[in-house]
Amino acid sequence: MSAPSTLESTHPRAGFVPILLANLLPLVGVLAFGWDAATLAMVYALEVFLSFPLAAAKALFAQQPSKVETDENDHKDPTVADELKERRGSAQLVPWLPPIYPRNVPFVSTVFTGFAWVAVAVGSILSTAIPVADVLTRPEVLVSILALVAASAADGWFDYIRGGRYEAVSAYEVAETHVGQTLFVVFVLMLVTIPEDVSGVALLVGFVAAKVLVEWASFRAAHRDGGPNRILGWLAGPDDPTEPTEPPIVPDGEPTARFSTDNTAVRYTAVQHTLFRSLFFAPWIVISWVVLLAVFTGDGTPLSVVVATAVAFGSLLLLQPAVEFLKFVLRYGPLEYRRYEDDDRDEDRLVAYDTWVDEPQWSVPLHEVRDVTVVRDNLPDHLLDTRTFAATVGWGDDEFERDIGPVSDGEAFATTFDLLVRSTELEPIDRRLAGAAVALAGCAVLGFVLAVAATPSVGTVIQGVYILPFALVPAWGLWRLAYPSAE
């Protein structure tokens, strides 16, 4: 039910007629032919859910760079996602698909996170008007799910990929537009369900009204049918293209030195980073699943419904850490640090080169690399004897804090690139404090398990999952103290 990106017609607005009829057909069927409104409303809801993985896939192929707003704090302490959004280059995985852009991966993560929140909101709304557990087990709903998957895949292929629309949008536009439109549909549903004893027909009318408005806004934006305004402009998504940035300076000739990041250290560090991030997003995904299961169902819930929701949110619980891991690997993994002699400017330069996409990422004169220190709180560096450096590069508006590495030979790396660092040695981790931190974390997890086992209820699980990250904060503080001091 999505608008095509192009339309060969003298009157472009006439192209919206099939889309309008497709959205109104279920409502006409309910009012005129007695179709089941609850079932059709459920099908619309499933379309909302299934649109999230499609939006995530579309964001990967978006060719235009996303506009990234940065301030002084972003330059002082950039996150992995911030740096990855500015990544240059693309990779062609298979010849029959457009290239994917590593810089788009953070926006895919945003789509996955939004899925959990929307699932809880829509599930709560539907449970007030529809016997969801009964509807989900009907054969016609299962058939509709397969039809929606096929229709969404066909629309994405013919409109977005074959139609070339991916060339004109950024991942930010894809993600923000989809999330904004979905939230608008949820808002309309909340208004529809405010009256008590709302019927399936009223819920279906709310779905249809919201979707028609969303489809019309998307159609206008795709066909440039006048300038979008107010609510239609917001639903059509952001329209703020990014000006192309100048490529990094790479002197002519071959580099005089090359140092690649240590792949094993990158993977280990990515695991450490992902586990830490999981403490924040995993509890919310678990809470979303528990709440969704509670509001969707009641006593006598079919096993198929429990299994289906568990599989859906279990997949989300695996996908989100996978995306976090991928973001870190893409940020640090394929880099090769090169030293060039720039005869034109009478200076040597440090160039970070991505060997996977075959593109330089950033470049800076060696004399602008300053305040270099060895990162001491990275566990893989202690285990593998690798080194990661933190440094300030550039001046003025181009000043940026960067992590360089991890590299296998820190001393040789510092010497090769003239890094003024006091020492590349790492003092060992305090095993007593580290052991105490692990024991304290184990006690917190054991307390959660015992509490759920003693009182197995939805409320206990939600409270425990919410409290557990805060209970782990003292353990994390001890673990940080176990690392050697910079003094």
The pLDDT, as a whole number, for residue 436 is 92
CA distances from 82 to 77, 85, 371, 388, 433 (A): 10, 5, 21, 19, 32
Of all residues in the chain, the percent with pLDDT exceeding 90 is 12
Residue 6 has pLDDT above 60, yes or no: no
Residue 258 has pLDDT above 50, yes or no: yes
> Region 394-418: what's the mean pLDDT?
87
In angstroms, rounded to a whole number, what is the distance separating the alpha carbons of residues 216 and 17? 10
In angstroms, rounded to a whole number, what is the distance separating the alpha carbons of residues 407 and 386? 6
The pLDDT, as a whole number, for residue 3 is 39
Residue 416 has pLDDT above 60, yes or no: yes
Lowest mean pLDDT, pick from 194-208, 219-233, 272-286, 459-473: 219-233
The pLDDT, as a whole number, for residue 350 is 92
Answer with the residue of higher pLDDT: 394 or 340: 340
CA neighbours closer than 13 Å in the CB half-sphere of residue 447: 15
- Angle (CA) 310-314-316 rounded to 5° is 125
Q: Predicted confidence band at 131 (pLDDT cuts at 50, 70, 90)?
A: low
Q: Predicted confidence band at 219 (pLDDT cuts at 50, 70, 90)?
A: low
> Region 229-249: what's the mean pLDDT?
63
Lowest mean pLDDT, pick from 212-226, 240-254, 341-355: 212-226
Residue 230, Cα to own-chain centre: how many angstroms? 28
Q: How confident is the model over 290-323, as pLDDT tens digits?
A: 666 665 555 555 555 566 666 767 777 777 788 8
| b/e code 210-237 from CB counts within 10 Å (16+ = b) | bbbbbbbbbbbbbbeeeebeeebeebbb
Long-range contacts of 341-346 (CB under 8 A, 24+ apart): 341/251, 341/253, 341/256, 342/249, 342/251, 343/251, 344/251
Residue 241 has pLDDT above 80, yes or no: no
> Region 128-154: what's the mean pLDDT?
66
Decide if 78 contacts 347 (C-beta within 8 A): no
> Region 207-231: what's the mean pLDDT?
62
Q: How confident is the model over 434-446, as pLDDT tens digits?
A: 999 999 988 988 8
Place of tokens 């004169």: 365
Decide if 35 contacts 29 (C-beta within 8 A): yes
Answer with the residue of higher pLDDT: 415 or 305: 415
Answer with the residue of higher pLDDT: 328 or 8: 328
In angstroms, rounded to a whole number, what is the distance separating the alpha carbons of residues 359 and 89? 6
> Region 198-207: what's the mean pLDDT?
66
Instruction: Provide the 8-state DSSP code for 161.
Output: I
- Here the tokens at position 450 are 């015992």
User: Most confidently modeled of 139-153, 191-205, 220-234?
Assistant: 139-153
> Region 16-24: what's the mean pLDDT?
66
The pLDDT, as a whole number, for residue 14 is 55
> Region 13-30: what's the mean pLDDT?
65
Q: How confident is the model over 76-126, as pLDDT tens digits?
A: 556 777 788 888 888 888 888 899 988 888 888 778 777 766 766 666 666
The pLDDT, as a whole number, for residue 275 is 85
| Residues whose CB falls within 8 Å of the CB of residue 447, separated by 6 or more in sequence, listed in order | 471
Average model confidence (pLDDT) for the chain? Answer: 76
- Angle (CA) 30-181-228 rounded to 5° is 110
The pLDDT, as a whole number, for residue 226 is 47
Decide if 361 contacts 354 (C-beta within 8 A): yes
The pLDDT, as a whole number, for residue 179 is 72
Residue 337 has pLDDT above 90, yes or no: yes
In angstroms, rounded to a whole number, what is the distance separating the alpha carbons of residues 349 and 332? 19
> Region 337-365: what's the mean pLDDT?
88
In angstroms, rounded to a whole number, what is the distance separating the alpha carbons of residues 193 and 178? 23
In angstroms, rounded to a whole number, what is the distance separating the alpha carbons of residues 191 and 327? 38
